Amino acid sequence: MNKALRKAIIAGNWKMNKTPAEAAALASSIKSLAAQRDCQVVLAVPFVDLAAVGEAIKDSGIYLGAQNCHWASNGAFTGEISPQMLVECGVSHVILGHSERRQYFGETDETVNRRLLAALEAGLHVILCVGEQLSQREQGITREICAMQVKIALGGVTREQMERVVIAYEPVWAIGTGKTATAAQADEVCGAIRQVVEELYDSSVAQALTIQYGGSMNAGNAQELLDQPNVDGGLIGGASLKGEDFAKIIAAASR
């Protein structure tokens, strides 16, 4: 299987932006701007926006996503949300292990693994984020860092469950900074991640896996990044909050 046969997925990570009313307006505009497309689209929105966005994208084929979930199905975990709660809200995809969760909220590879297993068990699709910090790239250990994050996060995940896993390679130094990895850098690390998945499973699982690039992807640089053989889509933060820019990225992935 080659890139042409993998699912191209463009996911917008809205982070902590948009009230429910603002979110509904943005989702409606994306729905109409991206009505013609040939890729999957996911909107990963704040928990409080799920109902409004779910309503706005009804019957559009756009998938509703969340930005995190807990590993327990219920219990004394104040402030947390379980995978089962997300499913009942119409969520199909959840981002896990985003670098902002790792940096600001103490997320570790082990907790990412627990969340990921629980999300898959509940039937969700997972967008697993991995990526190196600038100092790690400068030390020449990008591949090792990403391999370790992937291996720990995927511990206990079955071959069948891998059909519902997407990996997003997001160099931490490129997220929200305006600094994008070059197309060659993005392709190299996405290829290395595919190799790790092949070692963990086999070539057919690795070749079927959608691997996204994320980190200051925008309407201007998306095409070159998405044209790389190992880059199957994008996880987009800032540019996903501007309907027209996000629609241009969707168009780039649809060519």
Question: Does 112 help bind ligand PEP (rule: CB under 6 A)?
Answer: no
Tell me the H-state helices in the chain: 20-33, 50-56, 83-88, 99-104, 109-121, 134-138, 142-153, 183-200, 203-208, 222-226, 243-254
- Contact region for ligand PEP (CB under 6 A) — 56-64, 137-145, 181-189, 208-216? 208-216
**Among the options 98, 100, 125, 132, which is catalytic?**
98
Question: Smallest gap, in angstroms, from Cβ of residue 169 to ligand PEP?
Answer: 10
Question: Does 185 help bind ligand PEP (rule: CB under 6 A)?
Answer: no
Give yes or no: 70 in active site: no
User: Which residue's CB is nearer to ligand PEP, number 84 or number 248?
Assistant: 248
Q: Which of 252, 247, 243, 246 is nearest to 22 (CA)?
A: 243
Question: Does 13 help bind ligand PEP (rule: CB under 6 A)?
Answer: yes
Question: Smallest gap, in angstroms, from Cβ of residue 50 to ligand PEP?
Answer: 18
Give yes or no: 170 in active site: yes
Size of the site for ligand PEP (CB under 6 A): 14
Question: Does 23 help bind ligand PEP (rule: CB under 6 A)?
Answer: no
Count Cβ atoms below 10 Å from residue 178 Cβ, excluding itself.
9
Question: Does 65 help bind ligand PEP (rule: CB under 6 A)?
Answer: no
Question: Does 236 help bind ligand PEP (rule: CB under 6 A)?
Answer: yes
Interface residue with ligand PEP among 56, 57, 235, 253 (CB under 6 A) is 235
d(CA 17, CA 162): 30
Residues 6 or more apart in contact with residue 70 via CB below 8 angstroms: 77, 80, 81, 82, 83, 115, 118
First-to-last alpha carbon distance for the chain, in angstroms, is: 18
Question: Does 167 help bind ligand PEP (rule: CB under 6 A)?
Answer: no
Q: Which of 246, 179, 185 is nearest to 37 (CA)?
A: 246
Question: Smallest gap, in angstroms, from Cβ of residue 239 to ligand PEP?
Answer: 6
Gyration radius from the chain CA atoms: 17
User: Which residue's CB is nearer to ligand PEP, number 83 or number 97?
Assistant: 97
Interface residue with ligand PEP among 238, 243, 250, 251 (CB under 6 A) is 238
Distances (CA, A) of 96 to 100, 108, 139: 10, 11, 26
- With contact defined as beta carbons under 8 Å apart, do 112 and 196 qualify? no
| Residues binding ligand PEP (CB under 6 A) | 13, 15, 170, 175-176, 214-217, 235-239
